[in-house]
Amino acid sequence: MKPLVLTGQFYTQLDEKPQDYETSAEASTNKSNLVKDTTEKTHICNVCGLVYYSEFSLLNHLLVHSNEQNSVCEECGRIFKEKRYLVRHLRVHKSEKLFICNVCRKSFRDTASLKSHSQTHTNEKPYACDICSKTFSWRGDLRRHLRIHTKGKPYVCEVCSKAFSDGSNLNRHLRIHTKEKPYVCDVCSEAFTDGSNLNRHLRIHTIEKPYVCEVCSKAFNGGYNLKMHLRIHTKEKPYVCEVCCKAFARNDRLASHLLTHS
């Protein structure tokens, strides 16, 4: 059925497909009956004369004329059922940040964000692990920590079935299969699968060694290299052979040793 437009006292058919349709028509001053449903199923607002194909669209439009008219955003026309939702929405347009931290004066749009931020000053850690009692400032950090106990690794590689505790590690792993190397060195054009490897590589060009041993002052270009070096001083040997119980400071040296048993 073609949509109808009220012109004077007559309806005119338009060559368009049936759809939610609105147009200007002569408004009625009688507000006691806001919805006028004609025999042709055309729904007309008796306040402003707009015509709609569906009753749902008209009822939604009538919110503008109802007692909730103060809940219409003047910036974008969005309608809210309650004024408090409109007030919160208006901050999007005005960029208002009404909740201010008493410590650093940083401002936030809502109390929840301010409360989360305040924990950075108080060192408050309200989220505790029920298993080992370790505490965290953020619920998300606790959730990630719990995977240590549950060995929860819900992110599984579809290629080799290796599992990961979070999606970012899975995405990084997938580049092994896809051979994707999106991180490219601007100096020599060598490409890498992740940004951390690129950052380590860049130190070859800058001769930067920011990781310094506090015992002997030897410097390294990567944190892993410093960690391995520190075991010289601590005598730590966390990698143990399951065959003969010989211990090693590095995993690659344990791997080489295991060849002697094969």
pLDDT at 6 over 60: no
Residue 60 has pLDDT above 80, yes or no: no
- HSE (side-chain half, CA atoms, 13 Å) at 171: 6
Fold of 43-122: Double Stranded RNA Binding Domain (3.30.160)
More confident residue, 202 or 258: 258
**Pair of tokens at residue 219:** 């410097």
Measured CA to CA, the distance from residue 113 to residue 231 in angstroms comes to: 42
Shortest CA distance to 238 belongs to which of 224, 226, 251, 225?
A: 251
- Residues 162-209 have pLDDT tens digits of 778 788 888 888 888 888 888 888 878 888 888 888 887 887 777 777
Tell which CATH classification among 3.30.1330.10, 3.40.50.300, 2.60.200.20, 3.30.160.60 matches the domain 211-259.
3.30.160.60
Give the model's confidence band at 129: pLDDT under 50 very low, under 70 low, under 90 confident, else very high: confident
Using the 8-state DSSP alphabet, how is residue 194 labeled? Answer: S
pTM (global) more than 0.85: no
Comparison of pLDDT for 213 and 140, the residue scoring more = 213
* pLDDT at residue 221 in the model: 75
Which stretch of 12-21, 48-57, 124-133, 151-160 has the lowest confidence by average pLDDT? 12-21
Which residue, among 151, 147, 128, 130, has the nearest Cα to 138 in the 3D structure?
A: 128
pLDDT of residue 13: 39
pLDDT digit string, tens, across residues 146-173: 777 767 777 778 787 777 878 888 888 8
In the chain, which residues fall in CATH 3.30.160.60?
A: 43-122, 211-259
What is the Cβ-side half-sphere exposure of residue 51, based on CA atoms within 13 angstroms? 21
- Is the distance from CB of 89 to CB of 76 less than 8 angstroms? no
State yes or no: pLDDT of 94 exceeds 70: no
